[in-house]
Amino acid sequence: MRTAVVTGAGSGIGRAVAARLAFDGLAVLCADLNESAAAETAAELTRAGYAARAVHADIADEVSVAAMVAQTLEWTGRIDICIANAGAMIEGDLLSLSLEQWNRALEINATGAFLTARAVMPHLLVQGGTLVFTASTVGLAGMKGVAAYSAAKGAVVALTRQLAADYAARGVRVNAVAPGAVRTPLSESQFRARARDDDDFEAQLKQVIARYPISRWGTAPEIAEVVLFLATERSSWMTGQIIPVDGGLLEVR
Protein backbone atom coordinates (compact mmCIF):
# COMPACT_ATOMS: atom_id res chain seq x y z
CA MET A 1 0.00 0.00 0.00
CA ARG A 2 1.36 3.47 -0.88
CA THR A 3 2.79 4.90 2.29
CA ALA A 4 3.41 8.36 3.69
CA VAL A 5 5.51 9.34 6.69
CA VAL A 6 4.33 12.53 8.41
CA THR A 7 6.45 14.06 11.17
CA GLY A 8 4.80 16.24 13.79
CA ALA A 9 1.58 14.32 13.07
CA GLY A 10 0.36 14.62 16.65
CA SER A 11 -0.86 18.20 16.35
CA GLY A 12 -1.85 21.13 14.17
CA ILE A 13 -0.72 21.06 10.54
CA GLY A 14 0.83 17.57 10.79
CA ARG A 15 -2.38 16.07 12.12
CA ALA A 16 -4.42 17.67 9.33
CA VAL A 17 -1.89 16.50 6.73
CA ALA A 18 -1.98 12.93 8.08
CA ALA A 19 -5.77 12.95 7.77
CA ARG A 20 -5.73 14.45 4.27
CA LEU A 21 -3.24 11.86 2.98
CA ALA A 22 -5.21 9.03 4.62
CA PHE A 23 -8.41 10.26 2.91
CA ASP A 24 -6.46 10.13 -0.34
CA GLY A 25 -5.81 6.42 0.18
CA LEU A 26 -2.32 6.39 1.65
CA ALA A 27 -1.18 4.38 4.63
CA VAL A 28 0.07 7.06 7.02
CA LEU A 29 2.84 6.67 9.54
CA CYS A 30 2.13 9.33 12.18
CA ALA A 31 5.42 10.29 13.85
CA ASP A 32 5.80 12.70 16.75
CA LEU A 33 7.95 13.47 19.75
CA ASN A 34 4.69 13.39 21.67
CA GLU A 35 3.86 9.72 21.32
CA SER A 36 0.38 9.88 22.81
CA ALA A 37 -0.57 12.75 20.47
CA ALA A 38 0.63 10.71 17.47
CA ALA A 39 -1.32 7.73 18.80
CA GLU A 40 -4.45 9.91 19.02
CA THR A 41 -4.08 10.97 15.37
CA ALA A 42 -3.55 7.37 14.24
CA ALA A 43 -6.45 6.10 16.37
CA GLU A 44 -8.84 8.70 14.90
CA LEU A 45 -7.86 7.60 11.40
CA THR A 46 -8.04 3.85 12.04
CA ARG A 47 -11.45 4.28 13.74
CA ALA A 48 -12.63 5.95 10.54
CA GLY A 49 -11.37 2.98 8.50
CA TYR A 50 -8.07 4.39 7.23
CA ALA A 51 -4.61 2.82 7.46
CA ALA A 52 -2.52 4.62 10.06
CA ARG A 53 0.08 3.81 12.67
CA ALA A 54 1.80 5.94 15.32
CA VAL A 55 5.47 6.01 16.24
CA HIS A 56 7.52 8.03 18.66
CA ALA A 57 10.22 10.00 16.83
CA ASP A 58 12.53 12.86 17.68
CA ILE A 59 13.53 14.37 14.35
CA ALA A 60 16.57 16.01 15.94
CA ASP A 61 17.95 12.58 16.87
CA GLU A 62 19.56 10.52 14.11
CA VAL A 63 18.92 7.17 15.84
CA SER A 64 15.27 7.99 16.48
CA VAL A 65 14.75 9.04 12.85
CA ALA A 66 16.34 5.78 11.65
CA ALA A 67 13.98 3.84 13.92
CA MET A 68 10.99 5.76 12.49
CA VAL A 69 11.98 4.71 8.98
CA ALA A 70 12.63 1.11 10.05
CA GLN A 71 9.18 0.89 11.66
CA THR A 72 7.54 2.23 8.51
CA LEU A 73 9.31 -0.38 6.38
CA GLU A 74 8.35 -3.14 8.83
CA TRP A 75 4.73 -2.00 8.51
CA THR A 76 4.20 -1.60 4.75
CA GLY A 77 7.64 -2.21 3.21
CA ARG A 78 7.80 1.15 1.39
CA ILE A 79 7.87 4.94 1.65
CA ASP A 80 6.29 6.87 -1.22
CA ILE A 81 5.82 10.25 0.44
CA CYS A 82 7.48 12.03 3.33
CA ILE A 83 6.09 15.19 4.88
CA ALA A 84 8.92 16.64 6.97
CA ASN A 85 6.66 18.88 9.00
CA ALA A 86 7.70 18.76 12.66
CA GLY A 87 9.06 22.02 13.98
CA ALA A 88 9.03 24.30 16.97
CA MET A 89 8.95 28.06 17.42
CA ILE A 90 11.76 29.59 19.42
CA GLU A 91 11.23 33.31 19.77
CA GLY A 92 13.78 36.05 20.25
CA ASP A 93 15.61 38.78 18.38
CA LEU A 94 19.36 38.86 17.95
CA LEU A 95 20.18 40.51 21.26
CA SER A 96 17.84 38.39 23.35
CA LEU A 97 18.67 34.96 21.90
CA SER A 98 21.08 32.77 23.82
CA LEU A 99 23.42 30.46 21.93
CA GLU A 100 21.48 27.55 23.41
CA GLN A 101 18.19 28.87 21.97
CA TRP A 102 19.82 29.49 18.58
CA ASN A 103 21.22 25.94 18.52
CA ARG A 104 17.90 24.45 19.59
CA ALA A 105 15.98 26.34 16.89
CA LEU A 106 18.42 25.09 14.25
CA GLU A 107 18.50 21.58 15.67
CA ILE A 108 14.73 21.03 15.57
CA ASN A 109 13.80 23.00 12.47
CA ALA A 110 16.82 22.67 10.18
CA THR A 111 18.81 19.64 11.34
CA GLY A 112 15.53 17.81 11.92
CA ALA A 113 14.53 18.45 8.29
CA PHE A 114 17.96 17.28 7.10
CA LEU A 115 17.92 14.08 9.20
CA THR A 116 14.39 13.22 8.08
CA ALA A 117 15.18 13.83 4.41
CA ARG A 118 18.42 11.85 4.55
CA ALA A 119 16.76 8.86 6.21
CA VAL A 120 13.79 8.63 3.81
CA MET A 121 15.55 9.52 0.53
CA PRO A 122 16.89 6.00 -0.26
CA HIS A 123 13.31 4.71 0.00
CA LEU A 124 11.79 7.58 -1.98
CA LEU A 125 14.33 6.80 -4.72
CA VAL A 126 13.01 3.24 -4.92
CA GLN A 127 9.42 4.45 -5.36
CA GLY A 128 10.02 7.63 -7.37
CA GLY A 129 8.46 9.42 -4.43
CA THR A 130 8.01 12.94 -3.12
CA LEU A 131 9.27 14.93 -0.16
CA VAL A 132 7.44 17.99 1.17
CA PHE A 133 8.88 20.23 3.85
CA THR A 134 6.89 22.59 6.04
CA ALA A 135 8.90 25.82 5.79
CA SER A 136 7.35 29.17 6.76
CA THR A 137 6.77 32.64 5.37
CA VAL A 138 9.50 33.74 7.82
CA GLY A 139 11.94 31.62 5.81
CA LEU A 140 11.15 33.86 2.81
CA ALA A 141 10.71 37.32 4.36
CA GLY A 142 11.71 39.00 7.59
CA MET A 143 9.50 39.22 10.65
CA LYS A 144 10.31 40.87 13.97
CA GLY A 145 11.50 38.80 16.90
CA VAL A 146 12.14 35.33 15.43
CA ALA A 147 15.78 35.49 14.28
CA ALA A 148 16.77 31.86 14.98
CA TYR A 149 13.49 30.30 13.87
CA SER A 150 13.51 32.25 10.60
CA ALA A 151 17.17 31.37 9.94
CA ALA A 152 16.27 27.71 10.45
CA LYS A 153 13.27 27.95 8.11
CA GLY A 154 15.52 29.74 5.59
CA ALA A 155 17.74 26.65 5.74
CA VAL A 156 14.69 24.49 4.99
CA VAL A 157 13.91 26.67 1.96
CA ALA A 158 17.48 26.28 0.65
CA LEU A 159 17.50 22.55 1.39
CA THR A 160 14.28 22.14 -0.60
CA ARG A 161 15.89 23.68 -3.67
CA GLN A 162 19.12 21.74 -3.23
CA LEU A 163 17.43 18.35 -2.86
CA ALA A 164 15.20 19.14 -5.83
CA ALA A 165 18.33 19.77 -7.91
CA ASP A 166 20.09 16.65 -6.65
CA TYR A 167 17.23 14.18 -7.08
CA ALA A 168 14.98 15.40 -9.92
CA ALA A 169 16.78 13.28 -12.52
CA ARG A 170 16.42 10.25 -10.27
CA GLY A 171 12.65 10.63 -10.03
CA VAL A 172 12.15 12.22 -6.61
CA ARG A 173 10.43 15.62 -6.37
CA VAL A 174 11.06 17.92 -3.41
CA ASN A 175 8.87 20.94 -2.60
CA ALA A 176 7.86 22.96 0.43
CA VAL A 177 4.82 24.71 1.74
CA ALA A 178 5.41 28.05 3.50
CA PRO A 179 2.48 28.76 5.82
CA GLY A 180 1.66 32.17 7.21
CA ALA A 181 -0.16 32.47 10.53
CA VAL A 182 -2.10 29.25 11.10
CA ARG A 183 -4.05 28.72 14.30
CA THR A 184 -2.50 25.65 15.89
CA PRO A 185 -1.19 24.78 19.36
CA LEU A 186 2.22 26.13 18.22
CA SER A 187 0.97 29.58 17.26
CA GLU A 188 -1.49 29.79 20.17
CA SER A 189 1.12 28.93 22.80
CA GLN A 190 3.38 31.63 21.38
CA PHE A 191 0.72 34.30 22.02
CA ARG A 192 -0.58 32.76 25.27
CA ALA A 193 2.92 32.96 26.72
CA ARG A 194 3.09 36.71 26.42
CA ALA A 195 -0.58 37.69 26.83
CA ARG A 196 -1.58 39.36 30.11
CA ASP A 197 -5.04 37.77 30.05
CA ASP A 198 -7.69 36.32 27.68
CA ASP A 199 -8.62 39.74 26.24
CA ASP A 200 -4.99 40.56 25.56
CA PHE A 201 -4.56 37.11 23.93
CA GLU A 202 -7.50 37.74 21.57
CA ALA A 203 -6.22 41.27 20.83
CA GLN A 204 -2.79 39.91 19.92
CA LEU A 205 -4.29 37.28 17.63
CA LYS A 206 -6.23 40.04 15.85
CA GLN A 207 -3.14 42.21 15.55
CA VAL A 208 -1.27 39.46 13.68
CA ILE A 209 -3.88 39.14 10.97
CA ALA A 210 -4.28 42.89 10.57
CA ARG A 211 -1.37 42.64 8.09
CA TYR A 212 -3.01 39.84 6.07
CA PRO A 213 -4.90 40.71 2.85
CA ILE A 214 -7.27 37.82 3.62
CA SER A 215 -7.81 39.06 7.12
CA ARG A 216 -8.14 35.93 9.17
CA TRP A 217 -5.89 33.18 10.50
CA GLY A 218 -5.27 30.19 8.27
CA THR A 219 -6.41 26.71 9.25
CA ALA A 220 -4.44 23.49 9.29
CA PRO A 221 -6.69 21.79 6.67
CA GLU A 222 -6.00 24.72 4.28
CA ILE A 223 -2.28 23.94 4.54
CA ALA A 224 -2.89 20.19 4.26
CA GLU A 225 -4.68 20.66 0.94
CA VAL A 226 -1.57 22.25 -0.61
CA VAL A 227 0.70 19.63 0.96
CA LEU A 228 -1.44 16.92 -0.63
CA PHE A 229 -1.09 18.68 -4.00
CA LEU A 230 2.70 18.87 -3.67
CA ALA A 231 3.01 15.29 -2.43
CA THR A 232 1.04 13.64 -5.23
CA GLU A 233 0.92 13.40 -9.02
CA ARG A 234 -1.30 16.49 -9.06
CA SER A 235 1.98 18.50 -9.03
CA SER A 236 3.93 16.15 -11.32
CA TRP A 237 5.91 18.90 -13.13
CA MET A 238 6.89 20.83 -10.00
CA THR A 239 10.04 20.50 -7.98
CA GLY A 240 12.13 22.90 -5.87
CA GLN A 241 9.09 25.11 -5.26
CA ILE A 242 8.34 26.91 -2.03
CA ILE A 243 4.61 27.61 -2.02
CA PRO A 244 3.36 30.29 0.38
CA VAL A 245 -0.08 29.57 1.82
CA ASP A 246 -0.50 32.81 3.66
CA GLY A 247 -3.70 34.71 2.89
CA GLY A 248 -1.72 36.88 0.46
CA LEU A 249 0.75 38.15 3.07
CA LEU A 250 3.93 38.00 1.00
CA GLU A 251 2.65 39.03 -2.42
CA VAL A 252 -0.26 41.42 -1.95
CA ARG A 253 0.08 44.96 -0.65
Ligand X SMILES: NC(=O)c1ccc[n+]([C@@H]2O[C@H](COP(=O)([O-])OP(=O)(O)OC[C@H]3O[C@@H](n4cnc5c(N)ncnc54)[C@H](O)[C@@H]3O)[C@@H](O)[C@H]2O)c1
Task: Kindly list the residues in this chain that would bind ligand X in the complex (CB under 6 A).
Answer: 7-8, 10-14, 32-34, 37, 57-60, 85-88, 108, 112, 134, 136, 179, 181-182, 184-187
Distance CA(201)–CA(75), nearest Å, equals 43
Closest C-alpha among 13, 31, 42 to residue 180: 13
Which listed residue (50, 149, 167, 212) is catalytic?
149
Minimum separation from the CB atom of position 195 to ligand X (A): 16
Q: Does 212 participate in catalysis according to the annotation?
A: no
Minimum separation from the CB atom of position 171 to ligand X (A): 26
Count Cβ atoms within 10 A of the Cβ of residue 230 and give its class: 0-12 exposed, 13-18 middle, 19 or more buried: buried
Minimum separation from the CB atom of position 17 to ligand X (A): 9
Closer to ligand X by Cβ: residue 135 or 164: 135
Closer to ligand X by Cβ: residue 36 or 98: 36
Minimum separation from the CB atom of position 124 to ligand X (A): 19
Closer to ligand X by Cβ: residue 127 or 221: 221
Distance CA(238)–CA(226), nearest Å, equals 13
Closer to ligand X by Cβ: residue 168 or 193: 193
Closest C-alpha among 79, 65, 71, 68 to residue 128: 79
Minimum separation from the CB atom of position 52 to ligand X (A): 15
Could you tell me if 50 and 23 are in contact, meaning their C-beta atoms sit under 8 angstroms apart? yes
DSSP-assigned letters across all residues of 64-129? HHHHHHHHHHHHHS---EEEE-------B-TTT--HHHHHHHHIIIIIHHHHHHHHHHHHHHHHT-
Q: Torsions phi, psi of 238, nearest 5?
A: -120, 130
Q: How many helices (H) and strands (E) are present in the chain, helices listed first? A: 9, 7
Residues annotated catalytic, as ranges: 149
